[in-house]
Amino acid sequence: MRSEAAFEAWRRRTIVPVSAAALLFLAAYAWPILDPALDRHWEDLCALVLWGSWALFACDYLTRFWLAPRRVAFVRRHLFDLAIVAVPFLRPLVLLQLASVLNIMNRRVSISMRGNVARYAAAASLLVVFCAALAVLDAERGAPEATITTFTDALWWSATTVTTVGYGDMYPVTAMGRLVAIGLFIAGIALLGVVTGTLASWFVERIDASQETAAATQAQVDALTIEVRALRAELRGDVPGTEPERSPPM
């Protein structure tokens, strides 16, 4: 039962339902925040969907834990997943579930090429900006001195923050809003790092490639040199009696 094959099979088979649950989760999280005058009935439904998707994530985690060939390694490699499942289900902390969505994107895309890294970073940035706007709006809306009161404002604040521009025309004033902001700061630094790192590695690669070519040429010259030397040695060695012009080897 605890085999690599069973683990992989489960992972592959659950990609679609878990992705769907993550999308439902996002929708159910966003709706009551975007429409504060939402009917009580619908609000309850959203809460239900949140609980349901959480339960699904938890089941998925526990099954994967059960099937994992090396459980300690599994836990260490999937700390985000653990946080999603273990965190008490308070309203604003639900945002941590966002990690599961990113995780699922991660699962679907193999990050082995630079193009994929860039595309993943762009998609993750958009998702993070959108969710941070939701969370900060949820946290700030009720505060007396809040500057972020509409979703448009929240999106604008989120964009100015993740790029580390920080005009200061809007900023969170509640503790929860500030926690969201700090998460966004970290995402912003990571974003900068990914953009710069990708470009830097691209430049380095281009230069390395041209150096590789040069090195290859040099190697061929070396090979030729060796050949010529061998030929000379042969010529010298073949006629042992005469001993002609034994010029010193280079």
Positions in 90-149 near a second copy (CB under 8 A): 112, 114, 117
In the shown chain, the binding pattern of residues 230 to 249 toward a second copy, with x for contact by CB under 8 A and - for none, equals xxxxx-xxxxx--xx-xxxx
Q: Does 48 bind a second copy (CB under 8 A)?
A: no
Of 15-23, 65-73, 89-97, 179-187: span binding a second copy (CB under 8 A): 179-187
Least Cβ distance, residue 91 to a second copy (angstroms): 20
Q: How far apart are CA 176 and CA 134, in angstroms?
A: 12
Q: Report the run of H or E that residue 26 belongs to, with start and end.
A: helix 4-34
Least Cβ distance, residue 182 to a second copy (angstroms): 5
C-alpha radius of gyration, the chain, whole number: 30
Q: How far apart are CA 98 and CA 84, in angstroms?
A: 9
Of 24-32, 40-48, 101-109, 189-197: span binding a second copy (CB under 8 A): 189-197
Rounded to 5 degrees, what angle do the CA atoms 147, 132, 196 make?
A: 110
Closer of 55 and 189 to a second copy (Cβ): 189
Q: Name which of residues 159 to 178 contact a second copy (CB under 8 A).
A: 159-161, 163-169, 171, 175, 178
- Out of 150, 152, 213, 217, the residue judged to bind a second copy by CB under 8 A: 152
Distances (CA, A) of 88 to 25, 65, 83, 120, 187: 16, 20, 9, 29, 23
Closer of 100 and 158 to a second copy (Cβ): 158
Least Cβ distance, residue 93 to a second copy (angstroms): 18
Q: Does 78 bind a second copy (CB under 8 A)?
A: no
- Out of 59, 150, 197, 221, the residue judged to bind a second copy by CB under 8 A: 197
Closer of 23 and 216 to a second copy (Cβ): 216
Q: Number of residues interacting with a second copy: please give it, by CB under 8 A.
A: 72
Least Cβ distance, residue 92 to a second copy (angstroms): 17
Of 4-12, 89-97, 130-138, 186-194: span binding a second copy (CB under 8 A): 186-194
Residue with tokens 């273990």: 86
Of 24-32, 77-85, 132-140, 192-200: span binding a second copy (CB under 8 A): 192-200
φ and ψ at residue 113, rounded to 5 degrees: -120, 150
Cβ–Cβ under 8 Å, residues 15 and 107: yes
Which residues neighbour 97 within 8 Å (Cβ) at sequence distance 6 or greater?
Answer: 22, 25, 29, 53, 54, 57, 84
Distances (CA, A) of 65 to 13, 224, 234: 16, 58, 67
Ramachandran category for residue 151: left, alpha or beta (phi over 0 → left; psi -120 to 50 → alpha): alpha
